[in-house]
Amino acid sequence: MAMPPAKGLQHEKNKVLVMGAGNFGSCLADHLADSEHDVLLWSRDGAQVEYFNQHHRNSQYLQDHQFSIRINAIGPELPEASVISGVDVMLFAIPTEGVRETLKNLRPRINPEKLPLFIFVNKGIETKTRALTLEIIADTLGSDVASVATFISGPSFAKEIVKRQPTSVTVASLSMTHAEKASQVFHQPWFRCYIGEDPIGIELAGALKNVYAIATGTADGLGFENNTRAMLITRGLSEMTRIGAAYGASPLTFLSLAGVGDLFLTCSSSASRNYTVGYRLGKGEKLEDIIRTLGSVAEGVTTTKGLHEIVQELGVNAPIATAVYECLYEGKDVQDTARSLMSLPFMRELDLPQKAEGPALNLMKKLGRG
């Protein structure tokens, strides 16, 4: 069942460059093309580019889907300055670990006098620096670009978006004008956008929920059932909110589509890559074997490492996130970890840190907003 197109829906047509032809980048390119935008889809895989343009299919992702003829694939070289200057929107759908290098290489090709609307849909924390994408943008393209960059996040599986099943997301930016512009680009009867001005909270929620999806998948792999899943989702939301508030984000952001909405989806479906990693861990597989055979990136694995350092730095109580880190990187047995979590003493259920002057404060200063 798909939502029918709306009759008489008017919106501005744009030229859009989607950086990344993976699962999510491809599905968003198709959505945008179906919304009558002209779309370029960049891939670093030359064979994938050639196959896409010949068959209007992705040889690696969503292989059963016939993509819109309004999409033209380009690559594997990065787009030239002439291409970038001709687009209205640049959407980045590449893993967080590759964002910094990509933006550094693109910077000489971007005309600061004719900036496109920058939209980011990746979810994660850069492992080496513990930086959110907002900070990576500031470091590579400057604070002026970071201040107007937009972020889209929410419960949105690619295979359902291409079927035009009803989906809603959060669109956030420090500039509400740019959040509204991004929403206008994406908004359709089957794809509703809600705007906000807490990109830091949106980014944290999108990154952290992957860690808790690993925890929930592990519990399912161990054979635990609905009570346990509900417990982990609820307590995971509590930890995310506590970490986010200590970081400097708004606690309300974690009640949004990008917060509890995405958390619930990712923790309750075998279609989630991060859930799958946890499930296979619960079944006794080794992490190296899981990653090697997964077929796509599970950003929660790398995010867990960055989150562990952030939790320690902030002094936040986050036992589930800590447990996931111990299982992934310290070789702790998942059965023993489950017993340890359930053996913790009782504690106050809902609490927020008294001080919320974490890394967000320094990031705002870097953007000239401190």
> In terms of DSSP bridges, do strands 117-120 and 89-92 run parallel, antiparallel, or are they unpaired?
parallel
Q: Residue 368: inside a domain, yes or no?
A: no
- In this prediction, residue 109 has a pLDDT band, given cuts at 50, 70 and 90, of very high
Residues 20 and 130 in one domain: yes
Residues 260 and 148 in one domain: no
Residues 250 and 171 in one domain: no
Is 209 annotated in the active site? yes
Predicted confidence (pLDDT) at residue 368 exceeds the cutoff of 90: no
Strand partners, 212: none
pLDDT tens, residue by residue, 236-260? 999 999 999 999 999 999 999 999 9
Q: Residue 1: inside a domain, yes or no?
A: no
Among 137, 165, 197, the domain boundary falls at 197
Q: Residue 7: inside a domain, yes or no?
A: no
| DSSP symbols for 241-292 | HHHHHHHT--GGGGGSIIIIIHHHHHHS-TT-HHHHHHHHHHTT--HHHHHH
Residues 171 and 209 in one domain: no
Q: Give the C-alpha separation, 347 to 324, whole Å.
A: 20
> In terms of DSSP bridges, do strands 167-172 and 150-153 run parallel, antiparallel, or are they unpaired?
antiparallel
Q: Give the C-alpha separation, 119 to 91, whole Å.
A: 5
- In this prediction, residue 357 has a pLDDT band, given cuts at 50, 70 and 90, of low
> In terms of DSSP bridges, do strands 15-19 and 38-42 run parallel, antiparallel, or are they unpaired?
parallel
Domain that includes residue 56, residue range: 15-197
- In this prediction, residue 356 has a pLDDT band, given cuts at 50, 70 and 90, of low
pLDDT tens, residue by residue, 201-227? 999 999 999 999 999 999 999 999 999
If one compares 5 and 301, the residue with the highest pLDDT of the two is: 301
Among 197, 217, 251, the domain boundary falls at 197
How many CB atoms neighbour CB 354 within 10 A? 7
pLDDT tens, residue by residue, 287-336? 999 999 987 778 899 899 989 999 999 999 999 999 999 999 999 999 99
* CB 92 within 8 Å of CB 99: yes
Domain CATH number, residue 66? 3.40.50.720
Predicted confidence (pLDDT) at residue 7 exceeds the cutoff of 60: no
Residues 191 and 158 in one domain: yes
- In this prediction, residue 161 has a pLDDT band, given cuts at 50, 70 and 90, of very high
| DSSP symbols for 71-134 | EEEE-SSPPPHHHHHT-SEEEE-S-GGGHHHHHHHHGGGS-TTSPPEEEE------TTT---HH
Q: Residue 38: inside a domain, yes or no?
A: yes
Q: Give the C-alpha separation, 58 to 105, whole Å.
A: 25
What's the chain's average pLDDT? 94
Mean pLDDT of 273-283: 96
Residues 225 and 179 in one domain: no
Among 153, 177, 197, the domain boundary falls at 197
* CB 336 within 8 Å of CB 224: no
Position 181 scores a pLDDT of 97
Of the candidates 74, 89, 68, the one whose C-alpha atom is nearest the C-alpha of residue 42 is 74
Q: Give the C-alpha separation, 325 to 278, whole Å.
A: 12
Residues 208 and 184 in one domain: no
Residues 312 and 208 in one domain: yes
Which amino acid does the sequence have at 270?
Answer: S
- In this prediction, residue 86 has a pLDDT band, given cuts at 50, 70 and 90, of very high
Residues 207 and 322 in one domain: yes
pTM listed for this prediction: 0.92
Residues 234 and 318 in one domain: yes
- Percent of the chain predicted with pLDDT > 70: 96
- In this prediction, residue 351 has a pLDDT band, given cuts at 50, 70 and 90, of confident
Position 127 scores a pLDDT of 86
Q: Give the C-alpha separation, 298 to 292, whole Å.
A: 11
Structure tokens belonging to residue 273: 């890559």
If one compares 128 and 261, the residue with the highest pLDDT of the two is: 261
Of the candidates 184, 359, 170, the one whose C-alpha atom is nearest the C-alpha of residue 259 is 170
Taken in order 111, 117, 121, 124, the sign of the CA dihedral is positive
Residues 348 and 224 in one domain: yes
Tally of CA atoms within 13 A in the half-sphere of 27 that contains its CB: 19
Question: Domain total for the chain?
Answer: 2
**Measured between alpha carbons, how far is residue 334 from residues 55, 171, 209, 221, 288 in Å?**
45, 36, 19, 10, 16
**Of 13, 209, 305, 355, which is the active-site residue?**
209
Domain CATH number, residue 250? 1.10.1040.10
Q: Residue 205: inside a domain, yes or no?
A: yes
Q: Give the C-alpha separation, 236 to 216, whole Å.
A: 9
Tell whether omega for the bond before 345 is within 30 degrees of 0, i.e. cis.
no
Predicted confidence (pLDDT) at residue 46 exceeds the cutoff of 90: yes
Predicted confidence (pLDDT) at residue 8 exceeds the cutoff of 60: no
- In this prediction, residue 5 has a pLDDT band, given cuts at 50, 70 and 90, of low
Q: Give the C-alpha separation, 109 to 263, whole Å.
A: 37
Q: Residue 10: inside a domain, yes or no?
A: no
Q: Residue 190: inside a domain, yes or no?
A: yes
* CB 120 within 8 Å of CB 152: yes
Position 358 scores a pLDDT of 80
Structure tokens belonging to residue 197: 């001005």
Q: Residue 5: inside a domain, yes or no?
A: no
Residues 117 and 164 in one domain: yes
